[in-house]
Amino acid sequence: MPSVKKSRRRCTFKYERKLQGQGFLRIAGVDEVGRGALCGPVVAAAVLLDRMPRVHGIRDSKSLTAKQRVRLRPKIIRAAMSWGVGIVSAEEVDRYNIYQATLIAMHQALLQLSPVPDFILIDGSPVRGLSIPHLNVVKGDVRCISIAAASIVAKVTRDQLMKSYASMYPMYDWVRNKGYSCKSHFEALKQYGPTSLHRRSFKPVHSVPQLSLINDENHG
């Protein structure tokens, strides 16, 4: 495993340049969103950059407004050598658990990259089962441009999905809360029960009385 020193928590291209100096030229950043949501998919994105993108404003998606993320996504895609998105449903989250579902989404995103990266930078925890050299970077979406770019692509993709689902179930306020825990979401869960898009294995959803389950055939 190559040696990469931890940088300060500032989004730069230093990780990529260090790796390029060690002979790795096609470096992909990977990040996911939706891990803590009560409903909807977990989404991962992979972005392969061969140079510092000439796109102003790339940083951790959580520090950007929704409009900024939407504006940046096509610019990132144009600047990238390749990119991919993996989407794993709530049903699969329940089947495999959220950790495994996140790994599946990341693998899906990476499989879409062409050419194949020769090194992968991953936000947060290590990802098992990768044959390509890789490094997990704590707070990688804050420190590393490739990971930050992936975080933006993943976030916009998932937000758009949740908005489309909100038209089916407007009472849950998914346009605003994107399926995460908040007062309006909890109140709707108590009143209407979970939908087929909710993660039944998550305690706040599982604890909702089963008698109030929505009949999904009548809502979509």
C-alpha distances in Å from residue 82, one per residue of 45, 85, 116, 137, 149: 11, 11, 9, 21, 12
Residue 208 has what pLDDT? 78
- What global pTM score does this model have? 0.90
| Separation of alpha carbons 192 and 209, rounded Å | 10
pLDDT in tens, 11-20: 999 999 999 9
**Tokens (6 digits) for 76:** 């990132």
pLDDT for res 209: 67
**Which run of H or of E encompasses 122?**
strand 119-123
8 A C-beta contact, residue 214 and residue 194: yes
pLDDT at residue number 128: 80
Q: Which fold has domain 14-164?
A: Nucleotidyltransferase; domain 5 (3.30.420)
- State the burial class of residue 81 (Cβ atoms within 10 Å of its Cβ: 0-12, 13-18, 19+): middle
Residue-wise pLDDT for 35-90, tens only, equals 999 999 999 999 999 889 989 999 999 999 999 999 999 999 999 999 999 999 99
How many CB atoms are closer than 10 A to CB 23?
Answer: 9
Closest alpha carbon to 45 in 83, 11, 96, 6: 83
pLDDT at site 218: 44
Spell 89-114 as b/e; 16+ CB within 10 A means b: ebebbbeeebeebbbbbbbbbbeebe
The per-residue pLDDT for 210 is 54
Domain ranges within the chain, ordered by starting residue:
14-164, 166-209
pLDDT (tens, 9 = 90+) of the chain, 220 residues, equals: 554 444 446 799 999 999 999 999 999 999 999 999 999 999 999 999 988 998 999 999 999 999 999 999 999 999 999 999 999 999 999 999 999 999 999 999 999 999 999 999 999 877 888 889 999 999 999 999 999 999 999 999 999 999 999 999 999 999 999 999 999 999 999 999 999 999 999 988 988 765 344 444 444 3
Residue 179 backbone class (left: φ over 0; alpha: ψ -120 to 50; beta: rest)? left
